[in-house]
Amino acid sequence: EYDRALIDSEGPLLEETQATQSVGVLAVVGRPNVGKSTLVNRILGRRAAVVEDKPGVTRDRVSYDAQWAGTDFKIVDTGGWEADAQGIGSAIADQAQLAVSLADAVCFVVDGQVGLTDMDTRLVRMLRQAGKPVVLAVNKLDSRNADYTAAEFWKLGMGEPYPISAMHGRGVGDLLDAAVDQLHKAEKTSGFLTPAGLRRVALVGRPNVGKSSLLNKLAKQDRAVVNDVAGTTRDPVDEVIDIEGEDWLFIDTAGIKRRLHKLSGAEYYSSLRTQAAIERSELALVLFDASQPIADQDLKVMSQAVDAGRAVVLIFNKWDLLDDFGRQRLERLWQTEFDRVTWAERVNLSAKTGWHTNRLAQAMHTALESWDQRVPTGKLNSFLGTVQAAHPHPLRGGKQPRILFATQASTRPPRFVIFATGFLEASYRRFLERRLREEFGFQGTPIQISVHIRE
Ligand code: GDP
Ligand code: GDP
């Protein structure tokens, strides 16, 4: 019955989405009574649509036009789809799941007054499986004094908890900023824009390092055909390329082949294209010309990829041109210019001869697995406990900052949030990053650590 309600609503939902070109669909999900409908009303800014007092009554509309900060999006409220007493939990989870599968991003609402319940936990599991970006709202925190309660919800592993009061509107702006942000990101990266399941690769580097040579080599050597996937992607310049029997989506290959660097103003445009390709990618292959000195522009491209939080493989191309002396020079460079990215995957190859191009696939997989990796909160905390006991933070003004709790707030790239009693010095953060990498790997991905100070 509930499924039918959803299926009935599926048609108009999708039609409307296309008609208005909104940036995406945000599903508001949570167990009954956490305040989903109140929140949706607050977002829509009118009491109209959603209020329905009788539980179990299906509404004929499930999606509403919403707007925030100049962005149009659809909002789907699951608040009306409540089962009655028996089987309530699973029915709601099923409905929420359907709503989530139709959405581009999810606003997950919990009740900050009641705290976590089993049903919340079950929904979290479902959300994690769905893999959609989530913004976490901790509702019913009607006064600023109650905001500290929100921190408890970090442990859900759903990212930063936003304290809100749907009833009074407190905090809803910040929540919407985050939600719209996620929708924009989902728009760039969502699965339906690219052939299902393909991982998106940006091949970047300054002009003449050998990007188009490598692209041609990969395309020829492995299949002799380069698929043009125009029509299946928003941007018809992408190509599916088979590497070692596996398809990858290479972003903006047209830009690579266009040999822009022969034109004036080329550097500016190629840098714009590079940034755009990185934004749309999951993995950046950063090419260097190993036969030349490393230029500022090389390092700039690399930083763009790292700062954007992408999985990274560094490729030293034109290896065929190096003699012993050249190889030694490069190893010295690796120690100095690249000390910031010693965690990156690295492949030396020759696009011209094809030497070692068969090592790429493995490096790409390693980097992406690390990028996707999640450390369970329990494991993380017991590890940090041990590290801290052996190497406490140095005293600062007679006090010792201590780590209270940590959680991995997100993957892609891995981001850790640490709660501490005081400021953690940069050197200590780097030390923690090093230890995290030693313990958990993360080869090929940047990791981010932010510290929240709690008295
Ligand atoms: P839903 O069914 O989960 O969407 O939740 P509702 O929107 O129907 O709200 C459930 C109950 O919580 C109602 O009595 C609301 O008035 C109340 N409620 C919703 N938001 C807030 C809030 O921010 N603060 C307080 N104190 N109560 C709220
Ligand atoms: P892009 O501007 O990054 O796309 O670079 P290209 O692929 O156009 O390569 C620039 C120049 O470097 C061309 O003359 C290529 O033939 C040459 N080149 C590329 N890869 C290699 C390589 O592995 N070895 C050698 N010797 N030359 C290469």
**What pLDDT, on the 0 to 100 scale, is given for residue 432?**
95
- Mean pLDDT value across the chain: 80
Range name among 21-25, 221-225, 373-377 with the lowest pLDDT average: 221-225
Lowest mean pLDDT among 34-43, 180-189, 388-397: 180-189
The string over 226-254, giving b where at least 16 C-beta atoms fall within 10 Å of a residue's C-beta and e elsewhere, is bbebeebbebebbbbbbbbeeebbbbbbe
pLDDT one-digit tens code per residue, 330-367: 999 999 999 889 999 999 999 999 999 999 999 999 99
pLDDT of 9: 32
Average pLDDT over residues 61-90: 64
CA of 165 to the centre of ligand 1 (A): 9
Query: Is residue 67's pLDDT more than 90?
Result: no
Q: How long, in residues, is the chain?
A: 455
CA distance 210 to 352: 9
- Residue 28 alpha carbon, nearest atom of ligand 1: 4
For the stretch 190-226, pLDDT in tens is: 433 445 568 999 999 998 999 999 999 998 643 333 3
Q: Is the pLDDT of residue 16 over 80?
A: no
Output the six-digit token pair for 160.
């930063």
Higher pLDDT, residue 127 or 49: 127
Is 70 exceeded by the pLDDT of residue 395? yes
Q: Enumerate the β-bridge partners of residue 246.
A: 243
ipTM of model: 0.56
CA 93 – ligand 1 centroid, Å: 19
Ligand 2 centroid to 208 CA: how many Å?
6
* Bind-site residues: 30-37, 77-81, 139-142, 205-212, 252-256, 317-320
Highest mean predicted confidence (pLDDT) among 31-40, 92-101, 263-272, 343-352: 343-352
Q: Rounded to an integer, what distance in angstroms lies between the CA atom of residue 146 and that of residue 128?
A: 27
Q: Across-strand partners of 452? A: 419
| Sole residue written with tokens 């949706």 | 40
Query: Ligand 2 pocket test: which of 204, 208, 285, 288 has the largest number of ligand atoms within 8 Å of its C-beta?
Result: 208
CB 63 within 8 A of CB 14: no
Instruction: Report the amino acid identity of residue 65.
Output: D
Per the listing, tokens 């929708």 go with 183
Q: Is the bond preceding residue 413 a cis peptide, omega within 30 degrees? A: yes
Closest CA relative to residue 63, chosen from 76, 81, 51: 76
Three-state SS for 304?
Answer: helix
pLDDT computed for residue 237 by the predictor: 65
36 Cβ closer than 6 Å to some ligand 1 atom: yes
Q: Residue 107's closest CA among 144, 128, 77? A: 77
Residue 84 has pLDDT above 70, yes or no: no
- Count how many Cα atoms sit within 13 Å of the Cα of residue 368 in the half-sphere of its side chain: 17
